[in-house]
Structure 1
Amino acid sequence: NFFEDVQGKLVQKGVYCKMARGEMVCFMAENQIEKPEGIKQFSVMRYRFSEVLSSEKEYIFVRKKE
């Protein structure tokens, strides 16, 4: 899931989430990612993997609001 940090509160913005998912698919194809751990390196559109917020079943990517 993709979130934006707005003054310490995590918010999902549908349009940006959809764009980020598309970018992640491209990232996985270009880098031949076959295992889930590989997507932790994804860092497009200022989204970064959050080890703290993620679990084994769900990876969380967060970006700071500009």
Structure 2
Amino acid sequence: MKTLEDYPHIVQKATRLWGTQAGVDYLHGLVHDTRAGLRNGFPLEIVEEIALLLGIQEEGYGLRR
């Protein structure tokens, strides 16, 4: 089973942008296809972790996309 820690570049960028609108936008961009169907996507457990992080930022910091 993969976890977000298996993607250190994502963890680093998400940490750097944490609590900002740019951070929310970055996480949204990871789970929404912005490449006209050319993206393979993440395993479900990774998408769930990203969704959890989005929820924390949206509720805790009042940020929305």
Q: Check whether TM > 0.5.
A: no
Q: TM-score, normalised by structure 2?
A: 0.37
Higher helix share: 2
Higher strand share: 1
Q: TM-score, normalised by structure 1?
A: 0.36
